[in-house]
Amino acid sequence: MGRRRQARELALQLLYELDVRGESDPGPTADHFWSRQAAVPEDVRAFADAVARGAKTQQPKIDELIGRFAEHWDLDRMAVVDRNILRAGIFELLWVSDVPPKVAINEALDIARKYSTEESTRFINGLLDRVRRELCP
C-alpha cells in the first residue's frame, strides 16, 4: 500500500471516529487517535491529519454539496463510512491542489471497495464525479 493510500485510510478512520462521537472539533479525539498510531511515518500522519482536519473544517460546505448532489438521499441516512469517504474525497477534490481530481476519486473508490459495499462504491463514484464535473477547474 502506498503512503498516501495509508494516509487516506487513517483520515477516514479519524473522520469516522469524530462522526460517531458527534464531535466537530478534532482536537482531543485526534490527539488520542494519533497516540494510538505511534508507528505511522510522519509524512503519512501529516497528510492524513491535514485531510481529516480540513474535511472537518469544511464540513458544513461539504455536507451542503453532498446534500445537493446526492439525489433522494438524506445525509443522516447514509452509512457513516460512506459519508466520511465522501467528505474526504470532496475535500481533496476542492481544497488539495497537489492531488489531481481523477486520483482523488480513484483513491476514494478503492477505499470504498475496502470499507464499504459495491453499491456504495457506485454511489460514491457518481457523486464525486458530479462534484468534479461541476466544481473543479
% of the chain exceeding 70 in pLDDT: 99
Rg of the chain (C-alpha set): 14
Which pLDDT band holds residue 25 (cuts at 50, 70, 90)? Answer: confident
Is the Cα torsion angle 125, 57, 8, 36 positive or negative in sign? negative
Domain that holds residue 15: 3-135
How far is residue 21's CA from residue 137's CA, in Å, rounded to a whole number?
35
Number of domains in the chain: 1
Question: CA nearest 60: which of 75, 73, 50?
Answer: 75
Burial 11-24 (b: 16+ CB within 10 A, else e): bbbbbbbbbeeeee
Per-residue pLDDT tens digits for 76-120: 899 999 999 999 999 999 999 999 999 999 999 999 999 999 999
CATH code of the domain in which 83 resides:
1.10.940.10
pTM to 2 decimal places: 0.95
Question: CA nearest 71: which of 120, 126, 122, 108?
Answer: 126
